[in-house]
Amino acid sequence: MKEHLKLVEKVKNYFPNINAENINKAYNFGKKAHGAQTRASGDPFFSHPFEVANILAQMKLDEKSIITGLLHDVIEDTLATKEEIKKNFGIEVANLVDGVTKLSKITLDKNNKNKQVENLRKFILAISEDIRVLFVKLADRLHNMRTIKFLKDFEKKKKISNETLEIFAPLADRIGVRKIKDELEDLAFEELNSNVKLTIIKRIDFLKSQGKNNIKLIINQLNKILKQNNIKAEIIGREKKPYSIWRKMKRKNISFEQLSDIMAFKIIVEDIDQCYASLKAIHTSYPVVPGRFKDYISLPKQNGYKSIHTSIFGPAKQKIEVQIRTNEMEKIAKFGVAAHWQYKNKINLQEGKKYKWVRELVDIVETSAEPDEFLENTKMDMFKDQVFCFTPKGDLIALPEKSTPIDFAYAVHSNLGDVCAGAKVNGKITPLKNYLKNGDQVEIIKSKLQSPSPNWSEFVKTPKAKSRIKKFIKTKEYNEYSILGLKILKHFFSKNNQIFDESNLKQTLSYFKLQTIDDLYFRIGKGNFDPLKVLHAIYPSLKKIKNIKYEKNLKKEKNPMPLKGLLPGFAINYSKCCCPMPGDKIIGAMVKGKGVAVHTIDCGEIGKYLKKNIISLSWDSKKVTLEDYVGRIMIIVINEPGSLGEIASAIGNNKGNIINLKLTSRKKTFFEMLVDVKVKNLNHFTNIIASIRSLNTVSSVNRIKGK
């Protein structure tokens, strides 16, 4: 029987209604298109797409996926076009082939991050539109790894193997295709660390020789225990893969001599009740390895995987891992999301968007701006070890280990993360940087006045949270510098007796290679663009005039606030980002067209200025009058009787005076308020904040800087 007829029969075994003519047509089309092309092995090139189609058939994918496998290289490597494929096989196949083609050159080349980012963006967006693109790409990579030994370029082999470990194997794990994931890891491990792999295999052989790896004996013992409990089961034993063992050794920092946990056994039963009955029988017969029990039946993985995992000191006190699942769960463990299609006998084109991890990657695509940020946030090897937490309504939220309440808030909804002001974990107020644990019930306290803080990115865990925080900060920075730039430009035009008109500015954008007027304002506000260039672009005749006025030529003004170190003749501006006050440690930054911007010394904006533009400043204590200083604080307090009284007492006992109090939000469990307090000095103000913060009823209290 010809090879393409065998492929058709293979597909017919699970999709009886397949159109054999379409697969035969695709086979002939692809073979003709590739013609006399050959691979590094010397085999005809078309042997590769044919084997990719066979791998897809082993995964029991649909007819159009098989056809895509046969045609996935024709657009890139032959004269065939997308329109030609569309004409012969329909728009769905044409889009799939085109999608795979666009993803054919994903690179981890750190010297070309922009290209790397663009490829990953295309990859993620293509997955979200039709997840079959990912299945075809995985099959393509698997066959390439099976034949990588024929490549002569060592560096290319290393690069492909690294991509396989860092991108494709984790993606296979994400969609639950464990068989492909294991083989990809094993093949890449062979290329990258063949000596280590050989050492691990020798250690396994040694354990076998010591009688510590008798899989048949252990299966017989487990079968005996299950039969005693009237449980009918199929037991499958295997040695763990070398790469899996190596990764565990690195994670737990154990030596080869300490290596003992190298076997895993699957117990496959009829239904869920039998799963838990098997668990009881195993746990009552053998000692349990502490901390190694996971119930993925009650809390499935994001890719739909269900099973019970436990580790025991089994027969001969050998440490073994046991997985217990039903036949249906076993199919999902083998084929991942494709297993669902086998039951439905059809493919849903939007299947990819159903998976939370795909939606989160798409969200990162839409929010990440810089290449470094995007690459950091799209690391595929994420959410390996999870904690499962619950909303107050009982909804399950899965997060990576060491996640915080802020990660939880962003996982529930992006907007909730942006206004997260506090959190109650299991009914108790908890710091936002605390780690969440399995089973925690988390309630997020919202505030309209809250916004993402730059320091959040230092302790959040999830890529989604990191991406959203950075986006907010960058947007805020852009808006603030744009407003500042507009003020500088207006002031500059006025001092030089010229009319400021935005319609004139628009005409200069193409000259300066900018997209919008706000881009121009932003660069001026940040000090990266000289307003004189704008003036000359609009009024070229002024280039001949030498007395264009800068801020340094302005009439000297008396300092509106008593400062030491201020250069004469410079205007001053008290920055709204940090609102410096007498008593704060301060610093100045010279800004073209603006004068000196005064910041607190710990302000995050200081890093935006060149070092040569930074000047030292301090308050003149002899001239400062602090008695009338008013500090504003935001307080989130539990809604309990007497809580307001406690806050008022804390302020009064510290000799502060409340001059204004405004409730900004009131909920069933808490309320939020702004309080203006008259104090003598900064130290006085800090003591009052500390006193309020110590109250049990207070979730958070923060100084509000700026308007």
Catalytic residue positions? Answer: 76-77
DSSP track, 318-377: -EEEEEEEEHHHHHHHHHTTHHHHHHHTS--TTGGGGSHHHHHHHHHHHH--SHHHHHHH
CA distance 475 to 468: 11
Query: Position of tokens 């009955």?
Result: 277
Measure the CA–CA gap between 82 and 467, rounded to whole angstroms.
Answer: 35
Distances (CA, A) of 364 to 75, 318, 407, 414, 475: 29, 45, 14, 11, 15
Task: Find the farthest-apart pair of alpha carbons in the chain and give their distance in angstroms, rounded.
Answer: 102
Instruction: Calculate the CA dihedral of residues 525, 527, 533, 537 and round it to 10 degrees.
Output: -30
Q: Which value, to the nearest 10 degrees, does the dihedral of the CA atoms of residues 448, 415, 452, 576 take?
A: -50
Burial 426-447 (b: 16+ CB within 10 A, else e): eeebbebeebbeeebebbbbbb
Determine the Cα–Cα distance for residues 173 and 364; give it in Å rounded to an integer. 20
- What are the backbone angles phi and psi of residue 477, rounded to the nearest 5°? -60, -45
Cross-strand partners of 263: 239
Look at the alpha carbons of 535, 539, 544, 546 in this order and tell me if their dihedral is positive or negative: negative
Q: What are phi and psi of 626, to 5 degrees?
A: -100, -10
Q: Which uninterrupted H or E stretch holds 414? A: helix 414-418
Quote the CA–CA distance of 179 and 349 in Å, as a whole number. 24
Residue 536 burial by CB count (10 A; 0-12/13-18/19+): exposed, middle or buried? middle
Phi and psi based region of residue 426 (left: phi greater than 0; alpha: psi -120 to 50; beta: remaining): left
Local structure of 577: helix, strand or coil: coil
How far apart are the C-alpha atoms of 363 and 319, rounded to whole Å?
42
Contact indicator for 165, 192 with CB cutoff of 8 Å? yes
Element housing 678 (H / E): strand 670-679
Number of Cβ within 10 Å of residue 257's Cβ equals 7
The one-letter amino acid code at 570 reads F
Are 285 and 310 a contacting pair, CB within 8 Å?
A: no
The string over 101-130, giving b where at least 16 C-beta atoms fall within 10 Å of a residue's C-beta and e elsewhere, is bbbeebebeeeebeebbebbbbbbbbbbbb
Name the nearest CA neighbour of 366 among 123, 121, 119.
Answer: 121
Buried b (16+ CB within 10 A) or exposed e, 591-622: bbbbbbbbbbeebebbeebeeeeeeebebeee
Cα–Cα distance, 213 to 140 (Å, whole number): 35
